[in-house]
Amino acid sequence: MRALVIYDTNFGNTKIIAEAIAKELGSDAKAVSVSDFDIKELEGIELLVVGSPIIGWRPSERMGKFLASLNKDQLKGVKSATYDTRVKVFFHGDASRKIAKKLEDAGAEIIDKPQAFFVKGKEGPLLDGEVEKATEWAKRLKG
């Protein structure tokens, strides 16, 4: 399956999740930072996964800019799924559902519930079991 995982990261944790997902999706899948991403990379993509850390209750600024750059129907026919990384606090806010909404606005078909992966503190590390959880999720996304 031709798949792309677009992520943003400040401290590397969201990247670790992106790479675990891409690895499970197979040799035709890759993870790319939203900073290096070229819009041409979306051509022929069957599955798009997008992940961001929650920054101030929403996706990161870089991810927000990417999402705002998507045109209506640009992702028509593309199956998509989203995730965020976050700390375990009461008012953590959300990024994954907000990203899903933007992808849907661009025509994507959201195929699974937006996911959350937890880090111990702002800089991480990821809580035990979160990478395995990402691998299991990717298995589900493959169908």
Ligand X SMILES: Cc1cc2nc3c(=O)[nH]c(=O)nc-3n(C[C@H](O)[C@H](O)[C@H](O)COP(=O)(O)O)c2cc1C
Which of 42, 87, 110, 131 contacts ligand X by CB under 6 A? 87
Axis crossing angle, helix 13-25 with helix 130-142, rounded to the nearest 10: 40
- Tell me which stretch binds ligand X (CB under 6 A): 11-19, 32-40, 96-104, 135-143: 11-19
- Tell me which stretch binds ligand X (CB under 6 A): 23-31, 71-79, 80-88, 130-138: 80-88
Check residue 10 and report its DSSP letter: S
Positions in 14-43 near ligand X (CB under 6 A): 14
User: Which stretches of 6-143 are DSSP H helices?
Assistant: 13-25, 61-69, 96-105, 130-142
Which of 22, 45, 53, 133 contacts ligand X by CB under 6 A? 53
Which of 45, 119, 134, 141 contacts ligand X by CB under 6 A? 119
**Is 115 an interacting residue with respect to ligand X (CB under 6 A)?**
no
**Is 54 an interacting residue with respect to ligand X (CB under 6 A)?**
yes
Closest CA to 117 of 138, 142, 103: 138
**Is 92 an interacting residue with respect to ligand X (CB under 6 A)?**
yes
Read out DSSP for 86-114?
EES-TT---SHHHHHHHHHHTT-EE-S--
**Is 143 an interacting residue with respect to ligand X (CB under 6 A)?**
no
In this structure, are strands 79-87 and 115-119 parallel, antiparallel, or unpaired? parallel
Distance CA 56, CA 103 (A): 20
**Is 86 an interacting residue with respect to ligand X (CB under 6 A)?**
yes
Question: Which residues here bind ligand X, judged by CB under 6 A?
Answer: 9-14, 53-57, 85-87, 92-93, 119, 122, 124
